[in-house]
Amino acid sequence: MSQIARKILWNTGSQIIAKAILAFIGFATVKVITNYLGDAEGYGNYTAVYDFIALFGIASDLGLYTIAVREMSRDESQIEKIIGNILSIRTILAITVMLIAFGTSFFYARPDSTILFPLAAAITAGATIIMLISGTISSVLQVHYKMQYNAAGSVLGKLIAFGYMLYVIFMWQPDNPEAGFYQLLVAGIIGNLAMLIFIYFHVRRYVKLRYQFDWQFMKDVIVKSLPYGLALILNNLYFRIGSIMLYTINGPEQAGLYGVPLKVLEAIAIVPLYFMNSVLPTLTKTIKEKSETYKKVIQYSFDALVMGGTSMAIGTAAISFQVVVLLSNESFLTNTSEGFYGSDIVLAIIIFALAFSFINTLFGFILVAINKQSKLLYINGIGALIAVGANLFLIPILGARGAAITDIVVELVVASAAYFFAKKYLDFKIKLGNSIKILFAGLVMGAVVYYLKDPSYHWLGLQNKNILLLIPLGAFVYISLLFIMRVITKDMINMIRKKN
């Protein structure tokens, strides 16, 4: 294996390991916060603040990280100039946009809320500015294939933030969640600051960091990044808008019931991205060579993503009750006798949006491979418009369930639109034969898991710990059926893993 290949492998592997650790810390954080704040209303206030600031935070991104990596990779002799100017752009943007977010928070705050929303927004905005600066300078590590330091910094920051939360919850303010609420947000500042210091220390090994102001260069960078940045903003809008509209229309309780399932989606959504990042070099090369091989790569990738999306969707829906118990408390669970639909029902619905997002990822990457990523602006714009319209109609009627249904509709439409544009500019055909077999395997797996929930809960005495039995059992049934029906083949694995 070449030295560059080893660097890429270690670079990618370290990020995957870090993401797994961060997902675990994230789930543990949800568990302690939901228990500390007591109910869905308390957690809804917490998620509302973060989703509100996140909506503005992405506007501070503008795809500058990607532009920084590309420009520094093209001319490593100009790394100091490039990172210095892009750091200036990012800092100015971040501070400006966060000030706008703070001003807007006074209008977004609910008059019946028990929290001072502008104060909470100001704290979270501070944490976001630090995170954005940290992300900008980490682009230097990406260019030098040293993202293991960024991964380590991210984990360190989250651990410190989580540790501070535990201190607030169990030692400082154990009986006063109203006061402790703001300290949970302060934890974000402390954790992100630790991450920034760690990453800054390692970046300084490769480049002297200082703010630079080459106005012509800064203008050129903004022009290059604007289309991609707008696409990211629209993507973030249709992803976050459900939570924000729930908080505004129905209040913090429904936002909280929606927030727990959303954390599950955020953790799983990285899977297709990592997969397609691995496939992209092979896909790009075979398309450039104009060989028929790219059609096989697309078909095999489609089948693999359908496998992943189907298993995640059906499997998670079957054990949604156990997942929500694991991440929160009884106040988040459905009580049909009182007409209360909890996070478990929302998760069982919204998880199917994830299945369509897996497929959407493939067609989006095809557009990137053929240099038509500008079309993502139209696609995400369509998604954002549908998200706002459908949520306005469904949220007043169904609350969090309405937002979950909207997510399915939006992801389906976005996937269809991405397929339309990809098909318009590239000749390929998707065969659905394997997809039917995959769906059958998924339904069998779901039935096995669903009907073993009660026996494993009562007869084996595992109670909600039966999730530890149901997940590996479901995976065994699903994968076995895929091999038996010859959906997974050696040819498929070799094609996807083909080296450049």
Considering the domain architecture, whether residues 206 and 273 belong to the same structural domain is answered as: no
Mean pLDDT calculated for residue range 458-463: 62
Q: pLDDT class for 491, splitting at 50, 70, 90?
A: low
Indicate if 81 and 156 belong to the same structural domain: yes
CA distances from 244 to 26, 54, 57, 259, 421 (A): 20, 10, 14, 10, 30
Ranked by mean pLDDT, the top range of 13-27, 222-236, 329-343 is 329-343
Q: Of 49-63, 202-216, 336-350, 436-450, which range is least confident? A: 49-63
Query: Per mean pLDDT, which of 6-10, 20-24, 349-353 is the most reliable?
Result: 349-353
Question: Is there a single domain that holds both residue 196 and residue 285?
Answer: no
Distance, CA of 135 to CA of 142 (rounded, Å) = 11
Contact 297, 496 (CB under 8 A): yes
143 and 83 housed in the same domain = yes
Provide the percentage of residues in the chain whose pLDDT is more than 70: 91
> In this structure, are 192 and 306 located in the same domain?
no
Question: Does residue 224 belong to any structural domain of this protein?
Answer: no
Q: Report if residue 425 sits inside a domain.
A: yes
pLDDT at 8 > cutoff 60: no
Higher per-residue confidence, 302 vs 456: 302
Last residue of a domain, one of 213, 244, 279: 213
Residue 229 placed within a domain:
no
Q: What is the mean pLDDT of the segment spanning 28-43?
A: 89
**Res. 224: pLDDT tops 90:** no
- Do 336 and 416 lie in one domain? The reply is yes
- Contact yes or no for 393/337 (Cβ under 8 A): no
Mean pLDDT confidence for 421-443: 91
Hey, is 25 helix, strand or coil? helix
Write down the pLDDT at residue 223. Answer: 81
CB 357 within 8 A of CB 238: no
Q: Which has more pLDDT, 15 or 170?
A: 170
Q: What is the pLDDT of residue 398?
A: 93
Residue 75, amino acid: D
The amino acid present at 81, given as its one-letter code, is K
For residue 189, the model assigns a pLDDT of 96
Task: Return the pLDDT at 53.
Answer: 92
- The 8-class DSSP code of residue 465 comes to G
State mean pLDDT over 79-88: 89
- Say whether both 12 and 143 belong to one domain: yes
Q: Which residue has the higher pLDDT, 491 or 213?
A: 213
Do 55 and 166 fall into the same domain? Answer: yes
Q: Read off the pLDDT of residues 51-64 as tens digits, 9 standing for 90 and up.
A: 899 888 877 777 77
Answer yes or no: is 444 within a domain: yes
Domain-located, residue 208: yes
Task: Please indicate whether residue 2 or residue 59 has the higher confidence score (pLDDT).
Answer: 59
What single-letter amino acid sits at 220? D
User: From its phi and psi, is residue 315 left (phi > 0), alpha (psi between -120 and 50) or beta?
Assistant: alpha
* Residue 56: how many other CB atoms lie within 10 Å: 22
Query: What are the beta bridge partners of residue 335?
Result: 340
Confidence (pLDDT) at 2: 45
What integer pLDDT is reported at residue 4 of this predicted model?
Answer: 47
User: Based on the domain organization, do 203 and 300 belong to the same domain?
Assistant: no
The average pLDDT across 251-269 equals: 89
Q: Which whole number is the average pLDDT over 104-121?
A: 87
Res 361: pLDDT:
87
Instruction: Give dist(CA 136, CA 65) in Å, integer.
Output: 6
Please name the amino acid found at residue 353.
Answer: A
pLDDT of residue 72: 77
Domain limits for position 414: 261-500
Q: Is 225 a domain residue?
A: no
Between 352 and 151, name the one with better pLDDT: 352
DSSP letter for each residue of 141-174:
HHHTT-HHHHHHHHHHHHHHHHHHHHHIIIIIST
- Whether residues 182 and 324 share a domain: the answer is no
Contact 239, 263 (CB under 8 A): no
- Which of 311, 309, 330 lies closest to 321, judged by CA? 330
Final residue before a domain boundary, out of 213, 244, 273: 213
Q: Are 189 and 290 within one domain?
A: no
| Domain end marker among 177, 193, 213 | 213
- 230, part of any domain: no
Residue 312 contacts residue 347 (beta carbons within 8 Å): no
pLDDT at 11: 54
Residue 431 lies in a domain: yes
pLDDT the model gives residue 5: 46
Mean pLDDT over all residues of the chain? 85
Instruction: Please report where in the chains the tokens 């703001």 appear, as a residue.
Output: 182
The number of distinct structural domains making up the chain is 2
Same domain for 123 and 47, yes or no, is yes
Average pLDDT over residues 185-208: 93
Confidence check: pLDDT of 258 > 90: yes
